[in-house]
Structure 1
């Protein structure tokens, strides 16, 4: 009887150190590493989450912008961090596209654990109001009549979803446009608003407010249907590019060695925060649907996105220098 009692208590005894470790975390300030400059969608999202995370974790939470190389500079910084739960990476979809585009100082699958798929929303193809095209059909007509590649489009960088989705979109439309990569969405936006680039492919958090106030024209969105906050802007599926869909998305990752119980606690805290009405409405107002998907479903989604866009990269010979 005594032996059975001891054995019955063994799982709890074994679990106790893990539970205690999760409860003791964090023991010092927490970093959210963002691989993009201030003003981009990843930075904006991190700054929405930061105050609430700080409140629930009971430690200062800082945002560290490590911009460069389409977010990979920040990812490398997070991958090098001690796997103790005090450094997390907030990233956009390009995090899983980059392995196909450039040589990285880390392995995306091996060195990162997907913790939370925060949300997703549309990319939007925009143009300056002074451009000669009333919409996407007129742009395609002009591109077919002009020398191949003579019309440029700007994005936040090589290997972003804006870049590879636009390549796929051009393939479906039968045209070739020239990609002009910037070092982040904010500097690309500045040139788009000034009319220095004829087209700008971006996400709703960055481009949406300027489409709504008329500073940019919205030609189309990459969700299957028109987006609720961009009235009058059709989806490319609705424009006749059947079944084209390429929503952008944002996630939170841990360095892969972070103990699973700490990853789980961070996922629980983020789930709770994203369900709060004020935070949920703020995130949705940015231009994304809150998903709050954690664990294996996020890991499976991440792999499927890596495989999908790797095919586009290979078929179009997209490289860092291209």
Structure 2
């Protein structure tokens, strides 16, 4: 019978174990340190040129510079971003396929039945990036100079005033549904397939109001065709410094923003997620990224991956309640 009771045998076992660890650890460490080993694809569930696309390209450029590999934005619009989300969930979980997600990631689990995915199970949050406020704007020729004027008109003739949005279940649509309930008014929703056609009809006078993200209305406000009645952010927007917040317009605490953040397939190695998170946090501190976010009407939001996970969960719960109460259906 072999006995493990001699000092020499014990010493031999310990040395053998240490040798195995020494052989394995450098390989594991090298694999993690080498990430990324090829170009990284950042999937966006919206067409090129919009706010999410602009944010993804801004962060991608910063990560390319710091990590030495190209971060390539791939636009996959369709099905309310579900096509893009599902493609990332199905991708190899090695950190080389990421999703620049926005509010739809949380909202779609309530909007679509059966739910197309479970973001909290199928994806891992990497880092929140920032947010851009939703704005309530009007055709400049309308009599609605501010939120107070709109409220008076809406209460005089409930349901007679319509507003355009980028689509059923979009963040701006949800924001105005919340506002209607908060203000005790009834507006008529006119959904479009995207912000651009909605803006075109508001400028043309077919619809008097629009709810959309700040970036998309900026050029039309500058040209005098649209008037911002309120920004739905906690603070005034850098690109619309003269426009009051909804809180300043009589609704303290009311806020609705489009948030953006990177997520990855759920099985992505923790070391890769940690490295990506750290690099995004560094990028958010740079002058270039902060200036670019300001240009698109937003702000950066540094924070932990856990904070981002908590936001996704809270947003899902908020949208579930709103979708149920307002009976909102996807396009």
Question: Do the structures match in fold with TM over 0.5?
Answer: yes
The reply to whether residue 79 of structure 1 matches residue 89 of structure 2 is: yes
Find the counterpart in structure 2 of residue 206 from structure 1. Answer: 216
Secondary structure of 2:319's aligned partner: helix
User: Residues 39 and 186 of structure 1 are in contact (CA less than 8 Å); yes or no, is this contact kept in structure 2?
Assistant: no
1:14 Cα offset (Å): 6.2
**One of 77, 80, 91 as aligned partner of 1:70:** 80
User: Residues 225 and 238 of structure 1 are in contact (CA less than 8 Å); yes or no, is this contact kept in structure 2?
Assistant: no
1:229 Cα offset (Å): 3.0
Find the counterpart in structure 2 of residue 35 from structure 1. Answer: 45
Identify which range, 95-104 or 210-219, moves more after superposition.
210-219
The reply to whether residue 24 of structure 1 matches residue 7 of structure 2 is: no
Aligned-partner Cα distance in 2 for 1:290–1:27: 28
The reply to whether residue 313 of structure 1 matches residue 319 of structure 2 is: no
Give per-residue Cα distances to partners, 1:215-254, cap 9 Å, x unaligned.
Answer: 3100111123333431221111111123212232111110
Find the counterpart in structure 1 of residue 267 from structure 2. Answer: 257
> Structure 1 28/178 Cα, relative in aligned 2: closer, same or farther at 3 Å?
same
1:16 Cα offset (Å): 4.2
Aligned-partner Cα distance in 1 for 2:41–2:231: 33
> Structure 1 254/208 Cα, relative in aligned 2: closer, same or farther at 3 Å?
same
Give per-residue Cα distances to partners, 1:8-39, cap 9 Å, x unaligned.
Answer: 88877765444322223223322111101122
User: Residues 152 and 177 of structure 1 are in contact (CA less than 8 Å); yes or no, is this contact kept in structure 2?
Assistant: yes
Find the counterpart in structure 1 of residue 143 from structure 2. Answer: 132
Find the counterpart in structure 1 of residue 123 from structure 2. Answer: 112
User: Residues 70 and 156 of structure 1 are in contact (CA less than 8 Å); yes or no, is this contact kept in structure 2?
Assistant: no
> Structure 1 160/19 Cα, relative in aligned 2: closer, same or farther at 3 Å?
farther
* Unaligned runs of at least 5 residues, structure 1: none
Find the counterpart in structure 1 of residue 160 from structure 2. Answer: 150
Find the counterpart in structure 2 of residue 286 from structure 1. Answer: 296
Find the counterpart in structure 1 of residue 258 from structure 2. Answer: 248
Secondary structure of 1:50's aligned partner: helix
Larger Rg: 2
1:118 Cα offset (Å): 0.3
Find the counterpart in structure 2 of residue 59 from structure 1. Answer: 69
User: Residues 109 and 116 of structure 2 are in contact (CA less than 8 Å); yes or no, is this contact kept in structure 1?
Assistant: no
Q: CA RMSD in A?
A: 2.4
Q: TM-score, normalised by structure 1?
A: 0.89
